[in-house]
Amino acid sequence: MDKLEIDSQSSIETSSVEQTSENTRTPLGYEISEVYEPDTNEWEVKKILDVRESKPIRMSHHVYRTTKEYLVHWKGYSKKDASWEPEHYLDNCQELLEEFYNNRNININ
C-alpha cells in the first residue's frame, strides 16, 4: 500500500492502480470502464470545394461578426462526406486555399 499525505499530521492509504482486461481501477478504487486514448489521427484535406459566410456572431450589443467557412473534401472520403469547416481550422492548408481562389480568379490578399 502507498500512502498519500494530506497534511503533516495525517495520511491515508491508497492501493496501487489495478488493471484487468475488462476495466481499470484508479488508486482510490474507482472503476473506469473505458480508458481514454487521445485520437492522434489527423484529417487530411483533399480539396476545398466552396466558401460561405458563417452565421453572424454577436460580439457586443450592436456588433456582429461573420467568418468564412469552407466546404472541405476529405482525403479518403467521397464528396458526399464533405463538411463545412471554419476558416481557422484550415491554417495548415494555405496552398489548397490559394488553389481554390486561383480557380475562381479571386485574390485572397
Q: Cα(24)–Cα(33) distance, rounded to whole angstroms?
A: 7
Total domains in the chain come to: 2
Q: What is the pLDDT of residue 42?
A: 72
The whole domain housing 80 covers: 45-103
Q: At 4, is the pLDDT very low, low, confident or very high (cuts 50, 70, 90)?
A: very low
- Do 53 and 97 sit in the same domain of this protein? yes
Q: What is the pLDDT of residue 109?
A: 55
What 3-state class would DSSP assign to 13?
Answer: strand
Q: What is the pLDDT of residue 80?
A: 92
Output the nine-digit C-alpha cell for 82: 464533405
Each residue of 11-61: pLDDT tens digit? 445 444 444 444 555 555 555 555 555 555 678 999 999 999 988 888 888
Domain for residue 37, yes or no?
no
4-13, 29-38, 67-76: lowest mean pLDDT where? 4-13
Mean pLDDT (whole number) for 95-108 = 85
3-state SS, one letter per residue, for 1-64:
CEEEECCCCCEEEECCCCECCCCEECCCCCEECCCCCCCCCCCCEEEEEEEEECCCEECCCCCE
Domain for residue 40, yes or no?
no
* Identity of the residue numbered 55: K
Mean pLDDT (whole number) for 69-86 = 93
Domain for residue 83, yes or no?
yes
